[in-house]
Amino acid sequence: MLFVATYFYSGLNKLNGGFLTSTWEHLILIKTFGISLKFIQNNLWIHYLGTLLALFEIFFGLGLLFLKTKR
């Protein structure tokens, strides 16, 4: 139950604009992958792709509640 709560609330925390701007854009896309800010601004789908991380983490946490998906 502790893992479920950790993954679920961590995913909920990532569903805000601050995560998308500071962590996803600047830390991951620009500093890690070297993607330019102008390219990100021209392709907004790349900016919002960071919400998939949050949704994946939320559904992963909820998946731990079911017996078939615990492994």
Q: Give the model's pLDDT for residue 71.
A: 60
Q: Is residue 71 part of a domain?
A: no
User: Once rounded to an integer, what is the mean pLDDT over residues 14-40?
Assistant: 91
| Amino acid sitting at position 43 | N
Total tally of structural domains belonging to the chain: 1
Question: Cα–Cα distance between 9 and 27 in angstroms, integer?
Answer: 21
Phi-psi region of 34 (alpha: psi -120 to 50; beta: other; left: phi over 0): left
Residue with tokens 């961590």: 10
| Residue 12 confidence (pLDDT) above 80 | yes
Q: Is residue 16 part of a domain?
A: yes
Q: Is residue 28 part of a domain?
A: yes
Q: In terms of residue numbers, what domain contains 13?
A: 2-65
Question: Cα–Cα distance between 55 and 20 in angstroms, integer?
Answer: 13
Q: Is residue 70 part of a domain?
A: no
Residue 8 CB coordination number (10 Å)? 18
| Residue 67 confidence (pLDDT) above 90 | no
